Structure 1
Amino acid sequence: MKDGGPAFPFVPNAAQRQRNPGMSLRDWFAGQALIGLLGITSRAPDAEAAGQAVLVIGPAAYQLADALLAEREKEA
């Protein structure tokens, strides 16, 4: 699976030895989607329902991230 490359790459200067690619664009997109998805738990009728919502939020965030990456590929 493609991850979109680094979201915020660190490019070392001559004095630095290692390159840090940072988080992937897929992880960045998932984190942004997660913010919106967390609103689901605030509308849950009770703690049990909120707990169930939390179980699907992580995978849903990555599904949205994958959809965004797929759209980027179409435009490239």
Structure 2
Amino acid sequence: MSAPPPPFGGLHHVSALTARAGRGHAFSTRVLGLPPVKRTVNQDDPHMDHLFSADGAGSPGMEVPPFDFPQP
């Protein structure tokens, strides 16, 4: 008997939180090898950048947007 399939088809993206945007960007590009593909404003907080790193092909699950939450 096999296990039932998962109730979802996979991941669209994984969000990351960082206290230092530069280090989050470095992790996405240098460690994960995902180049920056888009920079917008966070829809929930217009004062916060929304940076996207992805594989460039738009593959599902290969988008990593780090959100910058600086420490006071």
Same-fold call, TM > 0.5?
A: no
Q: Which has the larger share of strand?
A: 2
The alignment's TM-score, normalised by the length of structure 1, stands at: 0.25
Larger radius of gyration: 1
1 or 2, which has the higher helix percentage? 1
TM-score with structure 2 setting the length: 0.26
Query: Which structure is higher in RCO with an 8 Å CA cutoff and minimum separation 6?
Result: 2
